[in-house]
Every structure is written in structure tokens, then in C-alpha cells.
């Protein structure tokens, strides 16, 4: 039997090894790995390239309600175009109910925004902001059963932050249904205290976003989230870990045998709080939570990546436009850091940054790169076997990388809806030059190919061992 496609001659990063072999693809799946596979309708000569599993970015925000007058810069079409050109084949955005809308209705509305628009596969996490009987007793169990098997809770942001009791109640439902709890760990009361003091002293510029969310704010909440999970008896994932002290809370808990998983992001290995202190209002371009720290904390995050303390490397893509009254830069309203929308674009640059800074600089191996950018995301969020690895039987979601291509990141080359990138001019070596989704090329040489063929992925229960 002929293959639909053979990718020939790449160095292939499988689950465990890097091997030179051909990849035979039939009906959208990887059918064989080996030599001399025989005839195919199409052959891609990948000599000199590296075949990695298509990236899974399990932490992105797309078209998420962001408050009165504020609009996220990406819809599903632009976000997934950007994802595909950055070597990704699956993204997992968060479904956030607007005030007065049930979780179930929010999921339906979010599907309506995504349907037919996506250039990569998508699957939704839920955000739990209401803990009423309808949400916890009915909507959440029904949604878990329907394949929405992970959700995020916030310990910060008025209107979103849950109390400790509420977090425990939500964790209890997760325990009953084997779902993954993701936590944004920052102490809202402490931030509010520091924010009031900063503003009273006239300290209102973007850098004060970072100064009012210092490391203890995150470290304490990380410790508390882990303790609550221990009390409730559930595994959890701490998302967007920015510093060594918070990571230490996680590694200590892991040593005690708790199932605590850790995620970090490009901003915590490449940006610092000084970026929020750039001249004029430029610092607003770097406002995200938790904030970037300093070079010592970057080193601590790198040590965690090198030593295997991090399971996930995600973008936390959360794009706003800069020169836009619906984005970062509104005269008056956003004149204090308190009102600057939190988040930065990064779904297209996540993988090139880690490949260049991690793999090419000898800090992490290719198999480790594959694990923290794809395989572990599939396992922890219920997509294992089908997604996240180049192995027989899996979807043929593959990114072909040129490890010798060096060029700076430029906003003009990117595909997101934001009008800037925080990494303008940042030089990287190694780019994904072709992305295949279920065996079909969806991006090539930095441009989208073909129509929006991304599917919605219903998920199984997470694997709590990776």
C-alpha cells in the first residue's frame, strides 16, 4: 500500500530518541517510522531538518472577555494562523464566562467563535469564577464528562479570584471527576495593599505593575495552592511560574510525593521588570502577570528547565494591541498601571525562543524540548497517544525545523493580531519552516497554507504521571 506522504531524511525526535528515519503518513496519521518505506503520493525531502512533534500550547487566551472597553487582539483565525506559523498544531485557550452567563452557555458561545476559523486543532480549558450550586453541581460534572477535563482558578483579580474555601470546593469536584486543576497563584489582598500604597505615592507607571506583584506575592500563593490541593487530595498544575522561590515551593512538594506540575513561559527566561520601566508608556507592552523578574530569577527558571522541574513550557499568549484605546494604550483610563490590560502576545515565538536559547545553546536536549513543548501537554491534559509525539498511530502533527536558520524576531513577520511583539529584534537560531496538521501542510516558510482545517478536540482524563 502506498503512503499519502513520506517525510524523508529528517532527524526525527521521537518520544525517547533522535533518529534519522523516514515518516510514513496515511489518512492523517503516522503509519510507519523506518527506512525505505516504499511508494508515496507525495514526498517531502527533509534532509538537514529536524522533525519535532507539532507544538501544543496549552496556555493561550483567544477572544477572551477582558473588561469594559478592552478587546483582545486575536480572534481564533489570527491566533491559530500565528500558532501554525510558530510550529504549533494544537492550542488550548481558556473559556471565561462573562458576568451572568453560565459556564455551559459560555462554552457554547466560545465554540461559536472558534468553529470553522482554526488553522490548528483547539481544545478549551474552563475558567471557574462562580462556585454556585448550578456550576459545581451540574455544569462542571457535565462538562467534564463531555471532554472539558481541565480548568483554571485564579487567586488574583477582583471578580475572578476565589477564596480558599471556594478553591477547595472546586478541587473537590475535580477530584470526583479526575480533572486537572490549574492555578494562577498570586495573593490578591497583598497586591491590592501594595497597589493602593503605590498609587497614593503617585507611583502609577507601568513598572509599578511589577513592583506591586513582588516575588512573595507569588511564592505565598503557590504554597497555599499546593496546601489546598494536598488537603483536597488532588493533583494540580501551577501555571506561569516566574521565579525561583515559587519553583522551590513546587519542588519541595514534589519531594514529599505530591503531584504538583509546573509550567513556565518565554517571558520568564528572556524579559525582566526593567522592560516595564522603558521610556514613556513603552513599558505597558510588557505588562503581564506574574511580571517578568530579573536576571537572577531567569537563571533560577533556567535551572528548573535544565533539571526537569518544569513539565510545561507554554506561551501564555494573551495579546492586546499597544497603540489602541481598546488595548494597552488608552489616554487617561490606563494612565495608572492598575488599568493596563494584563498579557503579552507570544504563541508564534514560544518555540523559536526555547529552541534557540535552550536547544541551540546546549541547555536542554531535543527530547526534553519535545516533552515540555508538546508531549507533556498532551499527557497532562488528556490528549496522549493521539497528540504530542511522533509515534506510530498518532496524528501526523509535525513541525519541520531548520536548525541553521538565524534571524531576528520581527513584528512584521508575525501573524497575530497584536501590533507589536515584546521580542522585537531578539535573534534566534532555528525556525519551524513547515508545520503539518494531520499530514496536511498548514504553514510553510512563515506563511499560512490552505484553509482553516483545525478541529475541536474533546479530551480524556489527564495522565497524572509524566
Residues of this chain that interact with ligand DUC (CB under 6 A) are 61, 184, 239-240, 289, 316, 318, 342-343
Tell me: does residue 316 bind Zn ion (CB under 5 A): yes
Judge contact between 396 and 386, C-beta under 8 A.
Answer: no
Tell me: does residue 188 bind Zn ion (CB under 5 A): no
**161 vs 374, which CB is nearer to Zn ion?**
161
Cβ burial of 4 (10 Å; 0-12, 13-18, 19+) is middle
Size of the site for Zn ion (CB under 5 A): 2
**94 vs 431, which CB is nearer to ligand DUC?**
94
Q: Which among 100-108, 313-321, 360-368, 410-418 is the span making contact with Zn ion, rule CB under 5 A? A: 313-321
219 binds, among ligand DUC, Zn ion, none (CB under 5 to 8 A by kind): none
Alpha helices in 87-214 (DSSP H): 103-114, 133, 140-145, 164-177, 188-200, 207-211
Residue 355: phi, psi to the nearest 5?
-60, -45
Q: How far is the CB of 336 from ligand DUC (least distance, A)?
A: 17
Binding track, positions 147-186, relative to Zn ion; x by CB under 5 A: -------------------------------------x--
121 binds, among ligand DUC, Zn ion, none (CB under 5 to 8 A by kind): none
Q: How far is the CB of 126 from ligand DUC (least distance, A)?
A: 14
**161 vs 364, which CB is nearer to ligand DUC?**
161
Q: How far is the CB of 316 from ligand DUC (least distance, A)?
A: 5
375 binds, among Zn ion, ligand DUC, none (CB under 5 to 8 A by kind): none
Nine cell digits for residue 262? 509546573
**195 vs 386, which CB is nearer to ligand DUC?**
195
**345 vs 352, which CB is nearer to ligand DUC?**
345
Q: How far is the CB of 119 from ligand DUC (least distance, A)?
A: 22
342 binds, among ligand DUC, Zn ion, none (CB under 5 to 8 A by kind): ligand DUC
**239 vs 253, which CB is nearer to ligand DUC?**
239
**184 vs 379, which CB is nearer to ligand DUC?**
184
Judge contact between 84 and 414, C-beta under 8 A.
Answer: no
Compute CA distances 349 → 84, 230, 274, 281, whole Å. 11, 35, 21, 23
Q: How far is the CB of 211 from ligand DUC (least distance, A)?
A: 17
Q: How far is the CB of 398 from Zn ion (least distance, A)?
A: 26
Instruction: Give strand pairing partners of 7.
Output: 23, 44
Q: How far is the CB of 222 from ligand DUC (least distance, A)?
A: 14
Peptide bond into 290 cis (omega under 30): yes
Q: How far is the CB of 232 from Zn ion (least distance, A)?
A: 20
H/E stretch holding 262: strand 260-264
Judge contact between 398 and 392, C-beta under 8 A.
Answer: no
End-to-end Cα spacing for the chain: 36
SS3 at position 306? helix
Measure the CA–CA gap between 232 and 165, rounded to whole angstroms.
11
The residue to which cell 481564533 is assigned: 76
CA-based nearest residue to 57, from 134, 122, 131? 122
- CA angle (257, 265, 360) in 5-degree steps: 100
**59 vs 415, which CB is nearer to Zn ion?**
59
Instruction: Give strand pairing partners of 181.
Output: 151, 236
> Any residues with CB less than 8 A from the CB of 92 and at least 6 apart, and which?
56, 57, 58, 59, 60, 122, 123, 124, 125, 150, 377, 381
Q: How far is the CB of 464 from ligand DUC (least distance, A)?
A: 22
Q: How far is the CB of 240 from Zn ion (least distance, A)?
A: 6
Q: How far is the CB of 21 from ligand DUC (least distance, A)?
A: 38
Instruction: Give strand pairing partners of 42.
Output: 5
Tell me: does residue 129 bind Zn ion (CB under 5 A): no
Nine cell digits for residue 298? 531567569
Cβ burial of 120 (10 Å; 0-12, 13-18, 19+) is buried
Nine cell digits for residue 110? 466560545
Alpha helices in 272-349 (DSSP H): 295-307
Measure the CA–CA gap between 304 and 287, rounded to whole angstroms.
24
**423 vs 431, which CB is nearer to ligand DUC?**
423
**15 vs 157, which CB is nearer to ligand DUC?**
157
Q: Which among 65-73, 141-149, 315-323, 423-431 is the span making contact with Zn ion, rule CB under 5 A? A: 315-323
**184 vs 293, which CB is nearer to Zn ion?**
184
Residue ranges that bind Zn ion, judged by CB under 5 A: 184, 316
Amino acid at each position: 500500500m502506498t503512503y499519502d506522504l513520506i517525510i524523508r531524511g529528517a532527524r526525527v525526535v521521537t518520544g525517547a530518541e533522535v533518529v534519522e528515519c523516514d515518516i510514513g503518513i496515511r489518512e492523517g496519521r503516522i503509519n510507519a517510522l523506518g527506512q525505505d518505506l516504499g511508494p508515496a503520493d507525495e514526498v517531502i525531502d527533509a534532509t538537514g531538518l529536524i522533525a519535532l512533534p507539532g507544538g501544543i500550547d496549552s496556555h493561550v487566551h483567544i477572544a477572551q472577555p477582558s473588561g469594559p472597553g478592552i478587546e483582545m487582539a486575536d480572534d481564533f483565525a489570527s491566533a491559530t494562523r500565528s500558532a501554525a506559523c510558530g510550529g504549533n498544531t494544537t492550542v488550548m485557550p481558556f473559556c471565561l464566562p462573562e458576568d451572568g452567563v453560565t459556564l455551559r452557555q459560555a462554552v457554547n458561545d466560545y465554540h461559536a467563535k472558534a468553529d470553522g476559523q482554526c488553522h490548528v486543532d483547539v481544545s478549551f480549558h474552563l475558567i471557574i469564577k462562580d462556585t454556585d450550586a448550578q456550576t459545581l453541581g451540574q455544569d462542571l460534572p457535565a462538562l467534564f464528562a463531555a471532554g472539558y477535563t481541565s480548568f483554571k482558578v485564579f487567586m488574583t483579580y477582583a471578580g475572578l479570584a476565589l477564596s480558599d474555601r471556594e478553591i477547595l470546593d472546586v478541587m473537590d469536584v475535580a477530584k470526583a471527576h479526575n480533572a486537572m486543576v490549574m492555578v494562577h497563584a498570586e495573593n490578591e489582598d497583598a497586591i491590592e495593599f501594595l497597589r493602593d500604597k503605590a498609587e497614593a505615592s503617585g507611583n502609577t507607571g507601568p513598572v509599578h505593575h511589577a513592583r506591586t506583584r513582588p516575588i512573595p506575592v507569588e511564592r505565598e500563593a503557590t504554597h497555599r495552592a499546593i496546601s489546598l490541593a494536598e488537603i483536597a487530595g488532588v493533583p494540580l498544575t501551577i501555571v506561569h511560574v516566574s521565579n525561583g522561590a515559587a519553583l522551590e515551593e513546587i519542588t519541595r512538594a514534589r519531594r514529599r510525593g505530591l503531584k504538583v506540575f509546573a509550567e513556565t513561559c518565554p517571558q520568564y527566561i528572556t524579559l525582566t521588570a526593567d522592560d516595564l520601566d522603558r521610556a514613556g508608556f513603552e513599558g505597558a507592552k510588557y505588562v503581564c502577570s506574574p511580571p517578568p523578574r530579573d536576571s537572577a530569577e531567569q537563571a533560577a527558571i533556567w535551572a528548573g528547565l535544565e533539571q526537569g522541574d518544569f513539565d510545561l513550557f507554554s506561551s501564555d499568549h494573551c495579546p492586546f494591541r499597544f497603540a489602541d484605546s481598546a488595548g494597552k494604550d488608552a489616554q487617561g483610563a490606563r494612565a495608572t498601571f492598575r488599568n493596563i490590560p494584563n498579557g503579552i502576545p507570544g504563541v508564534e515565538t514560544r518555540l523559536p525562543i526555547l529552541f534557540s536559547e535552550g536547544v541551540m545553546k546546549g541547555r536542554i536536549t531535543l527530547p526534553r524540548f519535545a516533552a515540555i513543548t508538546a508531549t507533556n501537554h498532551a499527557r497532562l491534559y488528556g490528549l496522549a497517544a493521539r497528540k504530542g509525539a511522533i509515534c506510530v498511530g498518532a496524528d501526523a502533527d509535525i513541525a519541520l525545523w531548520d536548525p541553521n536558520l538565524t534571524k531576528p524576531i520581527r513584528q512584521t513577520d508575525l501573524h497575530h493580531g497584536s501590533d507589536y511583539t515584546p521580542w522585537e529584534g531578539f535573534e534566534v537560531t532555528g525556525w519551524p519552516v513547515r508545520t503539518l496538521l494531520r499530514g496536511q501542510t498548514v504553514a510553510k516558510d512563515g506563511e499560512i497554507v490552505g484553509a482553516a482545517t483545525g478541529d475541536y478536540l474533546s479530551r480524556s482524563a489527564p495522565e497524572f504521571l509524566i
